[in-house]
Amino acid sequence: MRLSHLSLVDFRSYAGLELALEAGVGVLVGPNGQGKTNVIEAIGYLANQGSHRVAQDAPLVRAGAERAVVRGAVRHEDRTAMIELEINPGRSNRARLNRAPVNRPRDVLGYLRTVLFAPEDLALVKGDPAERRRFLDELLVARAPRYAGVRADYERALKQRNALLKSASMMRRAARGGQVPDLSTLDVWDAHLAKAGAHLLAARLELLRALSPLADKAYGTIAGHPGAMLEYRPSCPLDPHVRDGGDTVGVAPAPDPMGRGRRREVDELEAALAVALSRSRAEEVERGVTLVGPHRDDVLFAIDHGGGALPAKTYASHGESWSFALAVKLASYDLLRSDGIEPVLLLDDVFAELDTARRTHLAAVAASAEQVLITAAVDADVPPELDGVRYRVAKGSVTRGDTVT
């Protein structure tokens, strides 16, 4: 697929932008602070309804404006879909598909798929578990948009349960353990949380099973030797039979080519989550927050040089961390491609960070993409094999330059 047109209203530094885009390589060139990343960020937002730079939407709206609009025409095979997002910080966003309003913004997810490489990717390796969860969940939704609904259900149930736990813990504190708070509805929230959580977990585990070998392969190509490992680290035992102090949990069930075990896996995860919730209930009531479940899980990134796997977060060198982040992103690109829909590749300021070998590899991947958009401060930062349309970015405007061949 490719993005054939992008329009922005009051997005970041752009009061208004109309930009026609072509297949193949497009390079946004301009000095620092002119608005190159803002364009990439807008395209990423159109695909994922989230920014790769900030967690909140407010900074995305041009200073002084009330809302931002991002609109894109996506060509896939011989059809064009028009998606439009209105970003209203503090309130809910609104979305349109082919000019008609949709019920919920998440109904337009999946029409545009992107894979974005940016300096921020280093946080995948070095940052908090939340970074890795977000990466997994975004990829999950990109592959199957219905998971946006599963995520929303889980988050809503979590919010309700936390609100109940918080009021219970406040009541307990006020009564110094005398009065017992009414927890008669906690069972109900546990049941709903375990159900939504199990669907989310099963999907994450399945995704990781598909992603791991691709990441290892990509790491091998970039770093010169294999040994990248991705392993799901749940916040509670996922085997329903482990009731007490299970340290390690097998999370990779036997291969199941017929997919028959899928339903059973979800059921088992639901049972495991229910057990974990009931086991941690006393502490949760005490602290007023849900302590186990997919919102507390992590993915371990580890590198094995031959002498055993070491966690990349604490052991990897700067270069190795970069290679790992790059490998994980390349793996997600491969995975999306293998589903049969070419995602739009977005490369923000990455070439300047890489050594020659990694530059060459990434350039080769980029050259093979149906559409790739690259930002660079100067033309020289872009590997020469990536010929294509140049766009000059200056002071919040983008003008088409010459095609370099």
Partner 1 sequence: MGRDAARGAVLAVYEGVVQDLIDELGRLPNIGPKSAQRIAFHLLQADPVDVRRLADVLVRVKETVRFCELCGNVASAARCRVCLDPRRDPTVLCVVEESKDVVAIERTREFRGRYHVLGGAISPIDGVGPDDLRIRELMTRLADGSVTELILATDPNLEGEATATYLARLVKPLTADGALRITRLASGLPVGGDLEYADEVTLGRAFEGRRSLDV
Ligand X SMILES: Nc1ncnc2c1ncn2[C@@H]1O[C@H](COP(=O)(O)OP(=O)(O)OP(=O)(O)O)[C@@H](O)[C@H]1O
Known binding-site positions for ATP = 30-37
What residue type is assigned to position 15 of the chain?
A: A
d(CA 214, CA 206): 14
CB of 359 to ligand X, least distance (A): 18
CB of 188 to partner 1, least distance (A): 5
Query: Which residues, numbered 212-241, are part of the site for ligand X (CB under 6 A)?
Result: none
H/E stretch holding 188 = helix 186-223
Best CA proximity match to 299, nearest among 206, 233, 213, 212: 233
Interacting residue with ligand X among 2, 6, 12, 71 (CB under 6 A): 12
Best CA proximity match to 215, nearest among 320, 330, 133: 330
d(CA 94, CA 103): 8
H/E stretch holding 274 = helix 261-279
Q: Which does 106 bind (CB under 5 to 8 A by kind): Mg ion, ligand X, partner 1, none?
A: none
Return residues touching partner 1 (CB under 8 A): 58, 63-64, 89, 91, 104, 149, 153, 156-157, 159-161, 163-164, 167, 182, 184-185, 187-189, 191-192
Question: If binding is defined by CB under 6 A, does position 33 make contact with ligand X?
Answer: yes
Best CA proximity match to 85, nearest among 134, 50, 130, 132: 50
Length of the chain: 405
Q: Which residue is at the shortest CB distance from Mg ion?
A: 37
Window of 29-37, 143-151, 178-186, 231-239 that interacts with ligand X by CB under 6 A: 29-37
d(CA 81, CA 214): 30
Question: In which order are the strands placed within the sheet that holds 344-348?
Answer: 114-117, 344-348, 371-376, 24-29, 388-394, 397-404
Nearer to partner 1, 104 or 279 (CB): 104
CB of 43 to partner 1, least distance (A): 25
Window of 25-33, 69-77, 101-109, 251-259 that interacts with ligand X by CB under 6 A: 25-33
Window of 26-34, 42-50, 285-293, 297-305 that interacts with ligand X by CB under 6 A: 26-34
CB of 369 to Mg ion, least distance (A): 20
Show the tokens assigned to 186: 């906690």
Radius of gyration, CA atoms only, the chain: 23
Query: Which residues, numbered 54-93, are part of the site for ligand X (CB under 6 A)?
Result: 59, 61-63
Q: Which does 34 bind (CB under 5 to 8 A by kind): Mg ion, partner 1, ligand X, none?
A: ligand X
Question: If binding is defined by CB under 6 A, does position 390 make contact with ligand X?
Answer: no
Return residues touching Mg ion (CB under 5 A): 37
Q: Are 352 and 381 in contact (CB under 8 A)?
A: yes
CB of 157 to partner 1, least distance (A): 6
Nearer to partner 1, 159 or 395 (CB): 159
Q: Which does 377 bind (CB under 5 to 8 A by kind): Mg ion, ligand X, partner 1, none?
A: ligand X
**How far apart are the two ends of the chain, measured CA to CA in Å?**
23
Q: Which does 32 bind (CB under 5 to 8 A by kind): Mg ion, ligand X, partner 1, none?
A: ligand X
Nearer to ligand X, 46 or 218 (CB): 46
Window of 28-36, 72-80, 279-287, 329-337 that interacts with ligand X by CB under 6 A: 28-36
Window of 30-38, 110-118, 312-320, 360-368 that interacts with ligand X by CB under 6 A: 30-38
Show the tokens assigned to 32: 């620092």
How distant, in Å, are the alpha carbons of 158, 213, 255, 273 from that of 198? 13, 24, 19, 7
d(CA 107, CA 95): 8
CB of 36 to ligand X, least distance (A): 3
Q: Which does 188 bind (CB under 5 to 8 A by kind): ligand X, Mg ion, partner 1, none?
A: partner 1
Q: How many CA atoms lie within 13 A of 56 on its CB side?
A: 6
d(CA 188, CA 186): 5
CB of 30 to Mg ion, least distance (A): 9
Best CA proximity match to 238, nearest among 158, 284, 157, 293: 293
Question: In which order are the strands placed within the sheet that holds 228-233?
Answer: 228-233, 298-304, 309-311
CB of 395 to partner 1, least distance (A): 21
Q: How many residues bind ligand X (CB under 6 A)?
A: 18
Question: If binding is defined by CB under 6 A, does position 288 make contact with ligand X?
Answer: no
Contact residues for ligand X, defined by CB under 6 A? 12-13, 30, 32-38, 59, 61-63, 349, 375, 377, 393
